[in-house]
Amino acid sequence: MKKKVISALLCAAMVGTMLAGCGGSTGGSGSTAASGDAKVSDDTLVYWSMWEATEPQGKAIQEAVDAYSEESGVKVDVQFKGRTGQREGLQAALDAGTHIDLFDEDIDRVNGSWGTYLADLEDYAKAADYEATANAGLISACRDSGGGTLKSIPYQPNVFAFFYNKDLFDQAGIKDVPTTWDEFLSVCQQLKDAGITPITCDDAYADCMIGYHLGRLAGEDKVKEIVADGKWDDPVVLQMAQDYQELADKGYFSENVGSNVWPAGQNSELALGEVAMYLNGSWLPNEVVDTAGEDFNWGCFSYPAVTKGATDTATGTEAANYGAQVLAVNKDSKLGQEAFDLICKITQGEFDQKLADESNGIPADTTNTEWPKLVECAKPVMESCTTRYTWAVGIESNDDMTPIIKENFIKLMAGTLDADGFVKAMTDASK
């Protein structure tokens, strides 16, 4: 009898432990609300952030959240999920009805992949006169991505352009940045004559060059058409390949361009002053600051305009992939106003500046005119942008082709494939 009682007790304990183990948990790090309760109370504002708590952006956002909580008395539970956590977990959590009021990610992903979960922010923005100090181009980009209405608010803007080492340009006697492809070739030659390797890149960003070049020749819609429908026999593809073959033939690329696995090119070639130019986003100076140092003399110019072989849908230097991270409110949130107020706290005034300063990023608030020194060079490029490309000008829009494009383009840059070979390889691969 005694044994049976003990058995029953042990069994109950086992089941109890298992069920306790299956219980929910708030689990977030950096929570400012009282965590430990299995469920966050309805009056707590839950914010899923794409940053890590230890990143400069995460730290600045935490400060903004703390300030907002103190001023408004609203409890905020910030959960720093990181890029991967956000990408893998947000949609599933929203589908499961998890209490999430506010979240952020890249402008195209939020409005594209998660567009159906977003609340319309037009009324909130109007009431707060938000656009008075917001970057008009980015707000317009948010409206475009949101299907004509404002469903997200931009912060941490970025622009994708050529970043270069001004000291090396000076050393080669280059006075002006190139605005056309011919000027670009001449700059490359001057650098080479001065014994400086003109261009490098890493595998992760290699295909952005093709995207930009094709975008310059024929516009983004054409790039997407080529990639989606396999129209690699289009004359602009051959033109692009010939232009890049010329760069390779003339020795303008780093000899390691065929084997650079990110971040080898940006860290051990560009940041160490061995190579002059690298096509990347305005986050680059911050990414390599530990190697390049605070006193690295950064320059920036928009991808040059290409006229030879251009079509009537060609775009010039006024077009760039510029964008931002965006904050969006869950359409099912009961704390829409509070969420928008927190958005204002993060993206305007003091904390927008703080976010920019601490991450060497670009401020979103137009009254914050002081850009951090490392990215100041991108200001003219950002301000001159009137046409927005999406990421890599759409060259990565067909995920079944991206690795193949990358492989063949890297070979073209490394000189192991010529222009005709590139076109043939791509045409064959897309059959």
Partner 1 sequence: MKKNKGMIILFLLPAVILFCLIFLYPIMRTLLMSFFKITGVTDSMDMWQFNGIGNYTKLFSTGLFVTSMTNLAKIWLFGGIIVLSISLLLAVILTSGVRGKKFFRAIIYLPNIVSAVALATMWLQYVYSPKFGLLKTFFTKLGLESLSKTQWLDNEHKFGALLIAYCFGMIGYHMLIWLSGIERISPELFEAATIDGANKPAQFRYMTLPLLKGVFKTNITMWSVSSVAFFLWSQLFSTVTADTKTITPMVYMYTKVFGAGNSVTEHDAGVGAAVGVILSVCVVIIFTLCNKFIKDDELEF
Q: Given the rule CB under 8 A, which residues bind partner 1?
A: 7, 11, 14-15, 18, 87-88, 91-92, 95-96, 106, 108-109, 112-113, 203-205, 207, 255-256, 258-262, 264, 268, 390-392, 394, 396-404, 406-407, 410-411, 414, 416, 429
Cβ closer to partner 1: 74 or 417?
Answer: 417
- All residues at 6 or more sequence positions from 234 whose CB lies less than 8 Å from its CB, including other chains: 218, 222, 226
Q: What does the alpha-carbon distance between residue 289 and residue 276 come to, in Å, rounded to a whole number?
A: 16
Q: What does the alpha-carbon distance between residue 180 and residue 195 come to, in Å, rounded to a whole number?
A: 23
Cβ closer to partner 1: 74 or 199?
Answer: 199
Cβ closer to partner 1: 29 or 402?
Answer: 402
Cβ closer to partner 1: 83 or 250?
Answer: 83
Q: What does the alpha-carbon distance between residue 255 and residue 272 come to, in Å, rounded to a whole number?
A: 15
Smallest distance from partner 1 to CB 305, Å: 24
Residue that the structure tokens 């070639």 belong to: 269
Smallest distance from partner 1 to CB 26, Å: 20
Q: Which two tokens stand for residue 38?
A: 């299995």
Smallest distance from partner 1 to CB 127, Å: 30
Smallest distance from partner 1 to CB 363, Å: 22
Cβ closer to partner 1: 76 or 423?
Answer: 423
Cβ closer to partner 1: 333 or 408?
Answer: 408
Q: What does the alpha-carbon distance between residue 207 and residue 403 come to, in Å, rounded to a whole number?
A: 9
Written as one letter, the residue type at 164 is Y
Smallest distance from partner 1 to CB 96, Å: 7
**β-strand pairing of 153-165 with 322-329:** antiparallel
Q: What is the CA radius of gyration of the chain?
A: 25
Cβ closer to partner 1: 87 or 379?
Answer: 87
Smallest distance from partner 1 to CB 201, Å: 12
Cβ closer to partner 1: 238 or 429?
Answer: 429
Q: What does the alpha-carbon distance between residue 227 and residue 166 come to, in Å, rounded to a whole number?
A: 35
Q: What is the DSSP letter of 12?
A: H
SS (H, E, C) 258-275: CCCCCCHHHHHHHCCCCE
- All residues at 6 or more sequence positions from 186 whose CB lies less than 8 Å from its CB, including other chains: 178
- H helices within 128-270, ranges in order? 136-145, 166-171, 181-193, 206-218, 220-229, 235-249, 264-265
Cβ closer to partner 1: 351 or 409?
Answer: 409
Smallest distance from partner 1 to CB 238, Å: 21
Cβ closer to partner 1: 131 or 407?
Answer: 407
Smallest distance from partner 1 to CB 20, Å: 13
Smallest distance from partner 1 to CB 28, Å: 20
Residue that the structure tokens 């352009």 belong to: 161
Q: What does the alpha-carbon distance between residue 196 and residue 226 come to, in Å, rounded to a whole number?
A: 35
Cβ-contact 398, 228 below 8 angstroms: yes
Burial of 22 per CB tally in 10 Å (0-12, 13-18, 19+): exposed
Smallest distance from partner 1 to CB 343, Å: 22
Q: What is the DSSP letter of 278?
A: E
Task: Classify 367 as helix, strand or coil.
Answer: coil
Smallest distance from partner 1 to CB 46, Å: 18
Task: Classify 388 as helix, strand or coil.
Answer: strand
Cβ closer to partner 1: 171 or 398?
Answer: 398
Task: Classify 199 as helix, strand or coil.
Answer: strand
